Amino acid sequence: MTCDIATASWPRRWRLVGAFTLVEMVVTLGLLLIVMVLMINLAHRVRSEAAGVLTKDLLTKLDSLMAQYQRRHDRLPVIERVLPDGVVPEEALLECNAQMNNQQFVGALQAEPLWASFCAGLPHAVYDASRPALCDSWGMPIIFMPKGHSLLGTAPPDKDFFFFSAGPDKNYLTIVDNLYSYEQHGGIGGIGIRGSGVGGRVGEGSNDER
């Protein structure tokens, strides 16, 4: 009888051991899942920060190149405005105008002595010499702006122009995450709104404004 009780208790012990092992497996899998999620989020954050750093560096260098162009020619290049004053903003129209604006300012800067060194090492997705086009890290055309626009931001007090990127959301009108060629302080989305800038085409009347 004793032997039968002991024998009968073995499967129960095995079941307890098996259940405890299953709990351990579930906990381990849960921890692994948490670690994987954290690693994915970290990798995404690192890529996003790297993209932001690359784009910000592009904007800063473009600012220097355009300043060099302005000194050499005593004017800014004549470039189509992406969003003329008084026009109701539409993202589709803005993106179309951004491509034209981008190709025009790239064409103007290609003759500058430092352009070749500026483009050296840039990924094809960022700079395509065949079009030509210069995009941010998210594939959107970088925009050249004079003075500024009440919806897109304004140039700093000591500049006639600035460059900006649509940012990670790829939307030029959501200026909260847009990246600029200079630091912004105050105003909507961190941009000081000081006026609507010149009308018509970029570069027209720029000497008078200075």
Per-residue model confidence as pLDDT tens digits over 39-79: 888 887 777 788 888 999 999 999 999 999 999 999 999 88
Q: How far apart are CA 1 and CA 19, in angstroms?
A: 28
Rounded average pLDDT over 174-182: 88
C-alpha to C-alpha distances, 180 to 8, 86, 157, 190, nearest whole angstrom: 76, 23, 14, 11
pLDDT at 162 (0 to 100) = 93
Highest mean pLDDT among 35-49, 87-101, 130-144: 130-144
- pLDDT category of residue 168 using cuts at 50, 70 and 90: very high
pLDDT at 188 (0 to 100) = 37
Please report how many Cα atoms fall inside a 13 Å half-sphere around the Cα of residue 89, on the Cβ side: 16
